[in-house]
Amino acid sequence: GAVVSQHPSRVICKSGTSVKIECRSLDFQATTMFWYRQFPKQSLMLMATSNEGSKATYEQGVEKDKFLINHASLTLSTLTVTSAHPEDSSFYICSARVEGYEQYFGPGTRLTVT
Amino acid sequence: AQSVAQPEDQVNVAEGNPLTVKCTYSVSGNPYLFWYVQYPNRGLQFLLKYITGDNLVKGSYGFEAEFNKSQTSFHLKKPSALVSDSALYFCAVRDPNDYKLSFGAGTTVTVRA
């Protein structure tokens, strides 16, 4: 149990375009979902926290207009990188939790912006 | 603010030898501490956590960690390392009032055959 999936696992897009990443909790309803960013050989940095039906809370320094987060249901959150640039290339990881339990992490999405 | 530090970028051990990955923490109040492992191009896998109770915590895949309040440490250990334990290991701390995790920089473990 407690499986979190991400789609796509890898995506390549051209500079200036937008790309959407999905995060799903497959066998539980997630109270909260988190989005992290990880640069090569570096730690995870929390980007934002989202609760179903409400606006995401972004960490300091994260541009909310560039990284759009939608948490439309208890099992799905999406991260849209708008007007992507090469410096947005990174590994994006989501996690989900249900009340009373810790975070379960997705397998990650490798974004490459050319 | 809660934070953890992993003083070693890399740890290299021979298969069959003990493995230790170090972590120290800085928190206000009681710490909620975690260890995760990450294989290349994968998400994080939970190994173990300390919330309260026994200082020695046993987790997945034969790993354990010892909470030491006086030294503010939470080192990850495995008595006999396997080549398949080669991965990136993260220590993390959680604020007791919410579920945000703060991660250490990570330690790359290489176990040679």
pLDDT digits (tens, 9 = 90+) for B71-110: 999 999 999 999 999 999 999 998 777 788 999 999 999 9
**Spatial CA neighbour of B107 closest among B3, B23, B31, B15:** B23
CA B18 from chain centre, in angstroms, equals: 15
DSSP per residue, A59-97:
PTT--TTTEEEEEEETTEEEEEE-S--GGG-EEEEEEEE
- The partner residue sitting opposite A44, judged by closest CB among B46, B94, B103, is B103
Amino acid at B70: S
CA A13 from chain centre, in angstroms, equals: 17
Q: Which of the four pLDDT bands, split at 50, 70 and 90, describes residue A51?
A: confident
β-pairing verdict for B24-26 and A19-25? unpaired
What pLDDT score was predicted for residue B29?
82
Is B44 near chain A, with CB under 8 Å?
yes
Burial of B1 (0-12, 13-18, 19+ CB in 10 A): exposed
Is B35 near chain A, with CB under 8 Å?
no
The answer to whether residue B15 scores a pLDDT higher than 70 is yes
Q: Which residue has the tokens 């975070």?
A: A103
Q: Which of A2-6, A80-84, B30-34, B38-42 has the highest mean pLDDT?
A: A80-84
Asked if B99 and A108 come within 8 Å (Cβ–Cβ), the reply is: no
Rounded CA-CA distance A107/A34 in Å is 13
